Amino acid sequence: MDRALLVGLNIGDKDFDSSMEELKNLAEACEFEVVSILTQNLAHPIAATYIGRGKVEEICDIEVKQEIDCCIFEDTLSPVQLKNLQKNIKARILDRTGLILEIFSKRARTREAKLQVESAKLQYMMPRLIGMWEAIGRQGGSSGSSSNRGIGETQLELDRRWIQKRNAELRRELEAIEHDRDIQRRKRSDKELPLVALVGYTNAGKSTIMNRLLAMSNREEEKQVFEKDMLFATLDTSVRRIETVSKKDFLLSDTVGFLDKLPHALIKAFRSTLDEIKYADLLLEVVDVSDERHTEQMRVTDETIRELGAETIPRIYVMNKCDKLEDNVDSSQGKTGQKFTVKETADRIYIAAGVGQGIDELVDLIQRRLYGGNKTAEFMIDYAHGAVAGELSEKATVLEREYRPEGLYIKAEVSDYIRTKYKEMII
Ligand SMILES: Nc1nc2c(ncn2[C@@H]2O[C@H](COP(=O)(O)OP(=O)(O)OP(=O)(O)O)[C@@H](O)[C@H]2O)c(=O)[nH]1
Ligand SMILES: [Mg+2]
């Protein structure tokens, strides 16, 4: 395992400690062994080197003594800072963005995720090429003579051109995939099932909830998604049909988790994957309540949902991992979840999906939100939209039906979801 030194600059941010803790988790998720942590307090970062001169020397010292392979900086370094630091530090330098990109490239499994990660990496590398070439030149033992520099510059130009060409190829391929997804989405909306989207911070338990709901609908063998205790276990979007005995079926989507300061290049590259959220009828915002940073994580999730333009979609907060809360741990037996009971308030539900607690209650809540809230409404349906009438008789209680010259008149008791969906047909 590669040995890493973490470097953090505290500019008076109250969340500094938890940011460093998260960086450590990220480093471990990337299979680094964190052997040392170095921090500095400053009013603002130094433009040229991010941290102070003295600290750079300290790093040089530690890297030799502790055989450091990689220095990981807590924030994003500018191309100039990276270049200057790499002049002094022999170990590889990664910043927060570089580290996250590295994790994503290790995790990417589907073709789309791989292309998206590659595109994000190229965007990130482009302005940093000079620094990288200098580092490679020096590590190769070159003296930096003028002839070598000449080769470096030619190479730099070639690299730039190659990256631009490759980026164009990637964009084309991703557009083709997105087009296919669009077709699938349209096919799905033809089936008229409501779409429920799982969203939330990475490792909150989204995929676990998806799998429990699949198990409940007896479809788990073929359709289970990957769940694991690591950051960014999921990188793609899966949509599954959840079948229930009450026939109030819905589609459920599971997608990539969020993270504070998620690199801009990544959000851009993953846009089409994340866009799925926008088409949802209901969001399930999954929160790991046992994580002491969960309030902050909810803020990040809410912000990301806003950025994706999905803030007006109705939402349920699913407070997960309640079994791990201190109040619920039976210390005499060291067992979790002993005293825990599922509870529900206006917009949130407290569950523990990992130990199968609260799943039925969650499904019930989803169904009430999608199919409940019955009120009488009158529809005038154009004869060209016959399918709507079919959906109403399936999912609502039809009270009156009349064929009129201008269209089919239906009076029915319908849920909030149907009412919003066909609001332009309500008279
Ligand atoms: N104790 C406990 N662990 C849980 C619970 N729910 C999920 N977990 C565990 O938390 C870890 C992460 O779960 P995932 O479902 O993969 O999380 P995710 O939100 O899909 O994460 P990403 O795909 O990485 O964004 C797994 O090891 C789960 O077993 C729970 O209610 N209680
Ligand atoms: Mg997941």
Domain boundary among 33, 64, 94: 94
| pLDDT value for 53 | 92
Report the distance separating Cα 301 and Cα 286, nearest Å.
9
> 40 C-alpha vs ligand 1 centroid, how far in Å?
34
Q: Which atom of ligand 1 is nearest to the CA of 226?
A: 16
| pLDDT value for 27 | 95
Ligand 1 binding pocket (C-beta < 6 A) is 202-208, 227-229, 231-234, 257, 320-321, 323-324, 352-355
Domain boundary among 34, 68, 94: 94
Domain span at residue 395?
375-425
Residue 144 Rama label (left phi>0; alpha psi -120 to 50; beta): left
- Among 206, 211, 227, the mutation site with the greatest number of ligand 1 atoms within 8 A of its Cβ is 227
Does a structural domain hold residue 218?
yes
Least distant ligand from the CA of 286: 1
Q: Which atom of ligand 1 is nearest to the CA of 352?
A: 31
Domain boundary among 53, 74, 94: 94
| pLDDT value for 156 | 76
Task: Say which DSSP state 251 is in.
Answer: E
- What string of DSSP letters covers 273-293? HHHGGGG-SEEEEEEETTSTT
* Ion ligand 2 neighbours, Cβ < 5 Å: 206-207, 233-234
Are residues 403 and 348 part of one domain?
no
> 137 C-alpha vs ligand 2 centroid, how far in Å?
40
Q: Which atom of ligand 1 is nearest to the CA of 286?
A: 19
Report the distance separating Cα 395 and Cα 418, nearest Å.
8
Query: CATH no. for residue 79?
Result: 3.40.50.11060
> 138 C-alpha vs ligand 2 centroid, how far in Å?
41
E strand segments, 205-363: 238-242, 250-254, 282-288, 315-320, 343-344, 348-350
Tokens, residue 134: 């200098």
Tokens, residue 268: 């851009």
Are residues 349 and 234 part of one domain?
yes
| pLDDT value for 144 | 46
Does a structural domain hold residue 119?
no
Name the residue with the closest Cα to ligand 1, atom 11: 229
Does a structural domain hold residue 341?
yes
Are residues 311 and 215 part of one domain?
yes
Per-residue confidence of the chain (427 residues) as pLDDT tens digits?
899 999 999 998 888 998 899 999 999 999 999 999 999 999 999 999 999 999 999 999 999 999 999 999 999 899 899 989 998 999 999 999 999 999 988 888 888 889 989 999 998 888 887 666 665 555 554 444 445 555 666 777 778 888 889 989 999 999 998 888 888 878 776 666 889 999 999 999 999 999 999 988 876 566 788 888 888 888 888 888 898 877 788 999 999 898 887 777 788 778 778 888 888 989 999 999 999 889 999 999 999 999 888 988 889 999 999 999 877 655 555 555 555 778 888 789 999 999 999 999 999 999 888 887 778 899 999 988 888 888 888 778 889 999 999 999 999 988 877 887 788 899 9
> 256 C-alpha vs ligand 2 centroid, how far in Å?
6
- Among 25, 28, 208, 325, the mutation site with the greatest number of ligand 1 atoms within 8 A of its Cβ is 208
Amino acid (1-letter code) at residue 404: R
- Cα dihedral 302, 268, 270, 230, rounded to 10, equals -60
Q: Which atom of ligand 1 is nearest to the CA of 198?
A: 19
Does a structural domain hold residue 240?
yes
